[in-house]
């Protein structure tokens, strides 16, 4: 293994897996696998890039740090030459963490002297300019992310935000330097007096320049965009052969599970409802055990073949009311367990295509499917929409998964994902 990624959530893991598997057009990517949690055994010997997906974005700082260090240990044992700490392209974190403390711990463990910080992902509208993060044409703090229930992003200045989280110093590599090329970026990194350097990037070209400058860096941090040019560093110096995402996908019974309450997911749900059966999970019913996985399964079984979709997704007000009544953690645990139990039962019944919306929900479902199949490595297939590939697990009776980040995907994402799992456009 050459590149090892520690992803702070599962959808983020499949986002960066997609990027590493694709690489730069015409130059190819790496043979890539995504793992739900830290694997117990060794990785297959034909994997160049391995992504360990954690649920460390918004848990306690100490847990995020220890899980990330455990993932680092496993990746180094697999031979990785470069580690990428992948966080969200909207820099989801609080003034306490977890990005800063995890980056502190990883850089100390790797003895990394200068570490680039770049969440830019231009294909989904996230760009960094003058150290500030934009979503489309608005600052992060005006993009809706200021109201995020767990990690409200109220300051778009990444340097100021990160300084609250880290004991190390934070500097900046401005766009004027990035646009001059990789030599100048490298010189700026080497000459900087600060440890963490927020790097501006507005286009994929800027990300490629940064990646070229990061050849040989033991630790890189960012969104999936910063990974765009990393495979070709290894391909160009002869350490890896160029590859394309090859996971084959599957056909067979299907289900869509949506726990995400983001605006994008709710829009995709509204689109899907126009011509497909959907089932709204009664969350209070789940909390007092009057709704169980059997209700969800009955609906899915009755509507198989017609892209049945189960959702808990609610408006911000509905979510707030339910959280106030039952407690945020209790609701999240109960819904995660419900989706995981449903996914396990679907696998047992021979369901082969499962589309999931939401990072937390994807974590619960992917872990359950991998456990049920006893197959920890997810192979990377075609890209459905920016940042979301088809994933395939298992050998004899493979299962395809799509793990959609809350904010990703076009309005017709759900049907497109099911089609692409079968190898159609």
Ligand X SMILES: O=C(O)[C@@H](O)C(=O)CO
Residues that bind ligand X (CB under 6 A): 9, 11-12, 15, 88-90, 121, 223-224, 359, 387, 405
Phi, psi of 210 (to 5 degrees): -60, -45
Q: What residue 224 binds from ligand ATP, ligand X, none (CB within 5 to 8 A, per partner kind)?
A: ligand X
Residue 205 or 323 having the CB closest to ligand ATP = 323
Q: How far is the CB of 119 from ligand X (least distance, A)?
A: 7
261 makes contact with ligand ATP (CB under 6 A): yes
Is the bond preceding residue 241 a cis peptide, omega within 30 degrees?
Answer: no
Chosen from ligand X, ligand ATP, none, partner binding at 226 (C-beta under 5 to 8 Å by type): none
Angle between the N-to-C axes of helices 99-110 and 158-165, in degrees from 0 to 180, rounded to the nearest 10: 70
CA dist 387 → 8, 13, 169, 224 (Å): 15, 10, 31, 8
CB of 356 vs ligand ATP, minimal distance in Å:
8
| Chosen residue from 2, 133, 332, 347 binding ligand ATP by CB under 6 A | 332
Beta strands in 67-149, from DSSP E residues, in sequence order: 82-86, 115-118, 126-129, 132-135, 138-139
Note whether 406 binds ligand ATP by CB under 6 A.
Answer: yes
Binding to ligand ATP by residue 283, rule CB under 6 A?
yes
| Listed residue (349, 348, 343) closest to 401, CA to CA | 343
182 counts as binding ligand ATP under rule CB under 6 A: no
- Minimum CB separation from ligand X for residue 138, in Å? 16
Binds 314: which of ligand X, ligand ATP, none (CB < 5-8 Å by kind): ligand ATP
Q: Confirm or reject binding of residue 312 to ligand ATP (CB under 6 A).
A: yes
CB of 237 to ligand ATP, least distance (A): 34
Nearest by Cα to 401 from 279, 273, 256: 256
Task: List 68's β-bridge partners, or say none.
Answer: none
CA distances from 25 to 61, 122, 208 (A): 38, 16, 12
DSSP helix/strand/coil, 389: strand
Instruction: Concatenate the DSSP letters of all residues of 67-89 into one string.
Output: HHHHHHHHHHHTT-SEEEEE--T
Q: Which does 377 bind (CB under 5 to 8 A by kind): ligand ATP, ligand X, none?
A: none
Binding site for ligand ATP (CB under 6 A): 9, 11, 259-262, 265, 283, 312-314, 318-319, 322-323, 331-332, 335-336, 358-361, 405-407
């Amino acid at each position: 293994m050459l590149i090892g990624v520690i992803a702070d959530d599962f959808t983020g893991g499949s986002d960066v897996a997609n990027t590493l598997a694709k690489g730069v057009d015409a130059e190819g990517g790496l043979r890539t696998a995504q793992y739900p949690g830290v694997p117990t055994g060794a990785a297959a010997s034909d994997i160049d890039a391995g992504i360990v997906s954690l649920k460390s974005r918004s848990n306690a700082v100490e847990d995020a740090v220890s899980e990330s260090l455990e993932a680092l240990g496993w990746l180094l044992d697999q031979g990785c030459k470069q580690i990428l700490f992948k966080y969200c392209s909207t820099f989801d974190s609080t003034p306490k963490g977890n990005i800063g403390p995890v980056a502190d711990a990883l850089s100390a463990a790797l003895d990394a002297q200068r570490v680039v910080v770049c969440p830019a992902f231009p294909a989904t509208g996230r760009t960094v300019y003058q150290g500030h993060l934009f979503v489309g044409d608005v600052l992060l703090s005006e993009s809706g992310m200021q109201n995020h229930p767990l990690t409200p992003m109220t300051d778009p200045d990444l340097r100021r935000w990160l300084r609250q989280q880290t004991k190390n110093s934070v500097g900046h590599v401005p766009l004027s330097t990035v646009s001059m090329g990789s030599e100048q970026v490298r010189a700026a990194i080497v000459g900087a007096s600060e440890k963490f350097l927020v790097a501006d990037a507005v286009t994929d070209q800027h990300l490629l320049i940064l990646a070229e400058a990061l050849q040989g860096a033991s630790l890189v941090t960012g969104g999936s965009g910063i990974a765009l040019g990393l495979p070709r560093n290894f391909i160009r110096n002869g350490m890896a052969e160029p590859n394309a995402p090859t996971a084959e996908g599957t056909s067979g019974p299907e289900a869509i599970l949506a726990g995400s309450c983001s605006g994008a997911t709710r829009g995709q749900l509204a689109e899907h409802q126009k011509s497909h059966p959907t089932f709204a999970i009664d969350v209070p019913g789940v909390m007092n055990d009057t709704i169980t996985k059997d209700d969800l399964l009955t609906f899915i079984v009755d509507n198989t073949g017609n892209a049945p979709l189960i959702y808990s997704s609610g408006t911000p007000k509905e979510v707030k009311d339910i959280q106030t009544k039952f407690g945020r953690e209790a609701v999240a645990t109960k819904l995660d367990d419900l989706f995981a139990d449903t996914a396990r039962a679907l696998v047992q019944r021979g369901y082969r295509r499962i589309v999931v919306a939401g990072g937390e929900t994807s974590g619960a479902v992917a872990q359950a499917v991998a456990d049920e199949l006893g197959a920890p490595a997810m192979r990377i297939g075609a890209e459905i929409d920016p940042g979301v590939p088809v994933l395939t697990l298992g050998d004899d009776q493979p299962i395809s998964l799509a793990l959609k980040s809350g904010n990703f995907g076009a309005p017709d994402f759900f049907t497109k994902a099911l089609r692409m799992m079968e190898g159609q456009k």
